Structure 1
Amino acid sequence: MTTMETSIEKIPTYLMGYLINGDATGLTEQDVNEVDNLLREQSVELVCPPSADEDCQPYFSSVPWIGLPTEVVDCTVVYRIT
């Protein structure tokens, strides 16, 4: 039986297009590989951005979910727990 767990993570804004729509425009091959490896290693099923009705503004984080300090948005990440 597979169970799911959710967590709020600080997702870099520059990765949102890739994580949500699969659009790697503006990302390097290294960026894409790092994200793909993280998704696989952490068994990520889904990254959900804040809904349009939430008052969510990007902010700076020194400790984003992946990468160097940058602008982030809090997103719900669904992990597969086996």
Structure 2
Amino acid sequence: METSVEKVPTYLMGYLINGDTTGLTEQEINDVDDLLRKQGVELVCPPSSDENWEPYFSSCPWMGMPTEVVDCTIVYRIT
């Protein structure tokens, strides 16, 4: 498996970690699912409780338009 640290939009964290779709449109959910499938994402790991969870603005997040993000470790399947 490969890993990288990506700027994940905070508004997607509930869906990526817990599957909670609250506040997301069907199109946003489909876009996220497509990206995860195309990139072969196995797991999205948020910062641990002792790491800095402080969100910040990014003009180029991992997905979507410029927004508030948190650095997460992304685990990819190697195919």
State the TM-score, normalizing by the size of structure 2. Answer: 0.98
Number of equivalenced pairs: 79
Structure 1 spans left out of the alignment, 5+ residues: none
Residue identity (%): 78
Indicate which of 6, 11, 22 corresponds to 1:9.
6
Q: Specify the structure having the higher radius of gyration (Cα).
A: 1
Q: Which moved more, 1:47-56 or 1:10-19?
A: 47-56
Structure 2 spans left out of the alignment, 5+ residues: none
CA RMSD of aligned residues (A): 0.5
Partner of 2:61: 64
**CA separation in 2, counterparts of 1:54 and 1:76?**
12
State the TM-score, normalizing by the size of structure 1. Answer: 0.95
Hey, which bits of structure 1, 4+ residues long, moved more than 3 A? Answer: none
